Chains A and B, each alone.
Chain A
Amino acid sequence: MAEKTNKFAEGVKIGYIGFILFFAFIPLFIMVVVSFKSNDQFLQNPWFFDNPSTWKWENWGVAWDTVSGYIANSIFVSFTGTVVTLVIVLMCSYAIARFDFPGKNVIFYLVMATMFLPGTVAALVTLFDLLMNMGLVNSLWALVLMASVGGQVAGVFILRNFIEDIPKELFESTQIDGGGHYAQIRHIVLPLSGSIIAVTCIMDFLSSWNNVILPLLLLRDDELLTIPVGLFRLDGEYVKQYGELMAGYAISSIPLLIIFLFSMRFFVKGLAAGAVKG
């Protein structure tokens, strides 16, 4: 671009971004810093690394021993929940976007309305009651169920608009070629809205991965706990071992980091696609 850049405005912009990034990353940084400290070291200097020779690597060992048993549970719940959500989101938004049926708008608005209902915390008592009657208390399936029914709304909202924007001739030409609805979803919707779907999945995965309150409430047996609840086990009865706790948090965020690194491409593209698709 030939347009002259205003140095001052650029500076303000970068400064602003830096400011936000700083506050976004400082807790993570401190988490890593503290994970190498004993409680004494933590109380003396919580802000930066000490001399590497005094690092307490044992914290990570203790944290791993505590958390490792729960990783599989967390992955199972988040993964299954996300897959079920994805299938429901796809079918629901495809149906709403492509078919005309009586009451279609009412159904869509009802689905949207659930976005404005109070979340898990407000409905906790009734939710617990419901799950208890379903015999799902102290079962990972309760979490899978909850993960599968919460995340669709935003997904349906975004994906419906996206599917409606796909030229209908693409679907019709598949129809003439003999493709049914499955083929239309598989060959048109999935490839064309891949980034949107990836974002929906990641959001969903994150929210069930980080969910504390439901597993805390529903799970009794130690071997069923998910990571966030399992981390409470590190929260000693009398003394808080900050170093071990922080190491545990760090370990529990590693899978998310891995997922993010692999899906960053989709993430950026998807957020942009939703915004400026023209």
Chain B
Amino acid sequence: MSSVTINKLDKTYSPGKRDAFRAVKGIDLEIKDKEFMVLVGPSGCGKSTTLRMIAGLEEITGGTLKIGDRIVNDVAPKSRGIAMVFQNYALYPHMTVFDNMAFGLKLQRMPREEIKRRVDNAADILGLETMLDRKPKALSGGQRQRVAVGRAIVRQPEVFLFDEPLSNLDAKMRVQMRTEISKLHGRLDATMIYVTHDQVEAMTMGDRICVMKDGNIMQVDGPLNLYNKPQNMFVAGFIGSPPMNFFKGTIVKDGTGTSFLEESASGPGFSLKLDDRLIAASEKGSSQSVYLGVRPEDIEGASISDSAEIEAVIDVAEPMGAETFLYLKTPGGHDFIAKVQATHSFKLGERIHVRFDLARCHLFDSKTENVL
């Protein structure tokens, strides 16, 4: 087992040409031994490219990649000690489950008994014992993906690479496989790098999560830190569902204290008194112009007498059972979402008052979009 160290890793497609495209822009990332690292981000953020460079399927155009203590930039995929699980399983349709799992070992000319031992062991871990003689066609999506994982396990790699392995599965299967892969990580005690665009997968599976955007790393941290202490607006908006609400506005100081004044679009913006933590933060900004970020779950219904209350009109109410998502509009004309207890039913167009949990609000610089 071993660590993966990425140093100034860079990938440019067709360099020097008119259609040159820089997919990964000199990223640094240290993945520790036995860590479950999730690379997450929207389509085209470079996460899959990064993974494919680690696998050796894409040429590295800059920087170094180390697996363990060895620089593997120019090492062939088979000698890197990795195994990869693909989104579409990549099973050989003409081979049985056993042969699919044994294929890589056969290519390595491993003795027959050893192959059988390893495949049986993997089948045992994944619950595939009864399916070894079947062809992939006769398996469900979840079973196919399990075979694909099995094919990785038998190679006993130092690093497992997963490229959106659950994206082809239906929602229920995805949740089940998610826990299975997490369990597998505990059981195999291997380094795993997992690419997904699904922030729920990222949050639930990763020891640490690396959020990427446009070929850059936005933040690397544990799931809870990403959620509670996002470094920038992108991470804040990407992690969490429904996403964090952002209000553009300015910091205003007057006799009664410092407050946030929402920029108005159609009506007068709301004003919110800041607490000491947010005042301290607001002073770090380069200008008075900031974004206020508040998660839907940190908004609650309030009575009119509450001093921190904000008036809003209900556009849409989505009862989810345990809670209700309210799509609201401020008097200033901005939309936001609140996640409230489903204690009573809400009427469309109803005027309600909500309160933001100031301790959990964030201020972001309007220029750099970094947290203050």
Contacts and interface: CB of A to CB of B under 8 A. Distances in A.
Interface residues of A, number: 16
A179 B76 CA distance: 11
A172 B93 contact: no
Contacts of B139: none
The interface centre, meaning the residue of A169, A179, A187, A188 with most chain B CB atoms within 10 A of its CB, is A169
Contact of B86 (A169, A187, A188): A169
29 contacts: A167-B88, A167-B90, A169-B87, A169-B89, A169-B90, A170-B90, A170-B92, A172-B57, A172-B86, A173-B84, A173-B86, A173-B90, A174-B107, A175-B78, A176-B56, A176-B57, A176-B77, A176-B78, A177-B78, A177-B103, A178-B76, A178-B78, A178-B104, A178-B108, A179-B107, A183-B107, A187-B103, A188-B92, A191-B94
Contact of A176 (B55, B88, B89): B55
Closest 8 CB pairs of A and B: A178-B78, A177-B104, A169-B90, A169-B86, A173-B90, A191-B94, A176-B77, A178-B107
A183 B83 CA distance: 18
B155 interface: yes
A72 interface: no
B135 to A, nearest CB: 12
Contacts of B103: 174, 177, 187
A192 interface: yes
Given A172-B86, A173-B84, A177-B104, 16 more contacts: A172-B57, A172-B90, A173-B86, A174-B103, A174-B107, A176-B56, A176-B84, A176-B104, A177-B107, A177-B155, A178-B104, A179-B107, A183-B107, A187-B92, A187-B103, A192-B94
Nearest to A171: B90
Interface string B67-94: 0000000001111001110111110111
Contacts of A173: 84, 86, 90, 151
The interface centre, meaning the residue of B56, B84, B151 with most chain A CB atoms within 10 A of its CB, is B84
Nearest to B79: A178
Contacts of B108: 177-178
A153 to B, nearest CB: 28
Interface of B: 55-57, 76-79, 82-84, 86-90, 92-94, 103-104, 107-108, 151, 155
B93 to A, nearest CB: 7
A179 B90 CA distance: 14
A175 B57 contact: yes
Nearest to B155: A177
A188 B93 CA distance: 9
A192 B107 contact: no
Nearest to B93: A192
A275 B198 CA distance: 37
A102 to B, nearest CB: 11
Contacts of A177: 78, 103-104, 107-108, 155
Query: Chain A interface mostly helix, strand, loop or mixed?
Result: helix
Contacts of B57: 172, 175-176
A165 B87 CA distance: 17
Contacts of B94: 191-192
B92 A175 contact: no
A188 B90 CA distance: 11
A167 B144 CA distance: 15
A276 B67 CA distance: 45
A193 B38 CA distance: 37
B197 to A, nearest CB: 17
A178 B155 CA distance: 11
B181 to A, nearest CB: 18
Contacts of B76: 178
B340 to A, nearest CB: 44
A188 B78 CA distance: 18
Contacts of B90: 167, 169-170, 172-173
Nearest to B57: A172
A176 B83 contact: yes
A175 B86 contact: no
The interface centre, meaning the residue of A173, A177, A188, A191 with most chain B CB atoms within 10 A of its CB, is A173
Interface in A157-204: 167, 169-170, 172-179, 183, 187-188, 191-192
B277 to A, nearest CB: 49
A278 to B, nearest CB: 15
A202 to B, nearest CB: 21
Nearest to B151: A173
Contacts of A167: 88, 90
Nearest to A194: B94
Nearest to A183: B107
Contacts of A169: 86-90
A55 to B, nearest CB: 49
A173 B108 CA distance: 14
B14 to A, nearest CB: 9
Contacts of A176: 55-57, 77-78, 82-84, 104
B107 A175 contact: no
A176 B78 CA distance: 5
A167 B163 CA distance: 15
A175 B90 CA distance: 12
Contacts of A172: 55, 57, 84, 86, 90
A183 B108 CA distance: 12
